[in-house]
Amino acid sequence: MKIQNASIIICSPGRNFVTLKIETDEGIHGLGDATLNGRELAVASYLSEHLIPCLIGRDPFQTEDIWQYLYRGAYWRRGPVTMAAIGAVDVALWDIKGKALNTPVYNLLGGKSRKGVLVYAHAHGATVEEAVDDVVRHIDLGYLAVRAQSGILGLESTYGVPKGLQSYEPAERGLPSESRWSSELYLRHTPKLFQKVREAVGENVHLLHDCHHRLTPIEAARLGKELEPFHLFWLEDPVPAELQDGFKLIREQTTTPIATGEVFNTIWDAHDLIQQQWIDYIRMSIVHGGGFTPLKKIADFAALYHVRTGCHGATDLSPVTMAAALHFGIAIHNFGIQEHMPHSAETDEVFRHQYRYEAGYMYPGNAPGLGVDIDEKLASKYPYQRAYLPINRKLDGTLTDW
Ligand code: CS2
Ligand code: MG
């Protein structure tokens, strides 16, 4: 079997997606997600200008050699654009491999290790009361794990809470919007949120929270300690992760479990965090982490240090990545939890998939390969429109992390 052609489908059914389609000389094709929220065309260009020419004529079964060729052969290594492009190629090749062998990808990763993939939902509200109600609503939908985010008195907007009634989609068309932030207001507010949530739902549901990279290590240590009575499943992205040692200080101060990694793209972003056990969950996604080939190795490395997976699964990762995450999550031993932000109806129409949600778990389905495909004709009805993630500033105007 040889790779005969590769094409890139850029569409926007509710939000922008970049999809790589690799076709073989035996009529089998595979899909890879190449979406990088706010930088979509950079990845599309990296694929079309630099990777696709090197793929034609190769044996799609050679996933390891092709991955090494694309990673080491570029000379310039790592980074979100490069690794999303390599990840799209890798996932498409595993899709082809599964189809050619007439088996779901999870069987190529060790087979099923569990009946289903535990997922967590996103609950939010402009106020604590609304957030509590939304947590309850998701529990009523059967979720066993729910992330809670709420608006903060004194701040016009905050991460994770949509403006108005629409679902939360942080990327906005046009130039970046600007928001204002106060860590002090957030630190005073968040323990009160989880006090109310726990009072409403009790102990039998996993609660999660995303700081979204906005604190300093000592602030995150303070928050972790104050959240201990509420037994969070995890506190996510407490601080920006360029300084891996910053997590050491947090770890020394609190038993609240820590998760990070959705912005990581190689093991080197997380090596010390894992080896020093400064985190409990690694959030790298298959699209941004470079594909199944590296993610399996990273999961095995993490398993040595009691670190479990908690793959990123926001709506800006396409259904191709959700499918890949579920094949990965049902197979690997040190699976922790999978994020589940349901895509829009238009997205699900364009990306027809076998995976499904039921009573707190998701299931990848048993179709050969990933069990997802793209309706290119329908996709063409949703043209790309440039969109940006917001910019965040402190109350005094200092630019800070969004
Ligand atoms: C968030 C993401 O899902 C999460 O945990 O951190 O929604 C993140 O904000 C987006 O993926 C950014 O594109
Ligand atoms: Mg996050």
What CATH number did the domain enclosing 20 receive? 3.30.390.10
Does the beta carbon of 313 sit less than 6 angstroms from any atom of ligand 1?
A: no
Tens-digit pLDDT profile for residues 244-294: 999 999 999 999 999 999 999 999 999 999 999 999 999 999 999 999 999
CATH of the domain at 357: 3.20.20.120
Q: Whose CA is nearest to atom 13 of ligand 1?
A: 37
Q: Which residue numbers are catalytic?
A: 159, 212
Does the beta carbon of 212 sit less than 6 angstroms from any atom of ligand 1?
A: yes
Residue 396 lies inside a defined structural domain of this protein: no
Average pLDDT over residues 325-333: 98
Q: Which atom of ligand 1 lies at the shortest distance from residue 314's CA?
A: 3
* Predicted local confidence at residue 167, as pLDDT: 80
Residue 165 has pLDDT above 80, yes or no: no
Rounded to whole angstroms, the Cα distance separating 17 from 21 reads 13
Q: Which atom of ligand 1 lies at the shortest distance from residue 313's CA?
A: 3
Residue 393 has pLDDT above 90, yes or no: yes
Rounded to whole angstroms, the Cα distance separating 84 from 36 reads 7
Rounded to an integer, what is the distance from CA 294 to the centroid of its chain?
A: 15
Both 45 and 121 in one domain: the answer is no
Query: 103 C-alpha to center of ligand 2: Å?
Result: 32
**Confidence band of 166 (pLDDT split at 50, 70, 90):** confident
* Predicted local confidence at residue 215, as pLDDT: 98
Rounded to whole angstroms, the Cα distance separating 316 from 308 reads 23
Rounded to whole angstroms, the Cα distance separating 26 from 4 reads 9
Which residues are within 8 A (CB) of 68 and not within 5 positions of it... i.e. 6 or more apart?
none
Tokens of 130: 């609304």
Domain of 212 in residue numbering reads as 108-368
Query: 56 C-alpha to center of ligand 1: Å?
Result: 34
Residue 349 lies inside a defined structural domain of this protein: yes
The DSSP 8-state label assigned to residue 342 in this structure reads: P
Tell which of 72, 103, 134 closes a domain: 103
Q: Which ligand is nearest to the CA of 390?
A: 1
* Predicted local confidence at residue 176, as pLDDT: 96
**Confidence band of 108 (pLDDT split at 50, 70, 90):** very high
Residue 255 lies inside a defined structural domain of this protein: yes
What's the whole-model pTM score? 0.98
Residue 7 lies inside a defined structural domain of this protein: yes
Both 161 and 221 in one domain: the answer is yes
Q: Whose CA is nearest to atom 11 of ligand 1?
A: 314
Does the beta carbon of 316 sit less than 6 angstroms from any atom of ligand 1?
A: yes
Please state, as a whole number, how many other Cβ atoms lie within 10 Å of the Cβ of residue 148.
Answer: 29
**Confidence band of 164 (pLDDT split at 50, 70, 90):** confident
Q: Whose CA is nearest to atom 3 of ligand 1?
A: 314
Query: 402 C-alpha to center of ligand 1: Å?
Result: 10
Average pLDDT over residues 303-329: 98
Both 87 and 116 in one domain: the answer is no
Q: Whose CA is nearest to atom 4 of ligand 1?
A: 314
Residue 168 has pLDDT above 90, yes or no: no
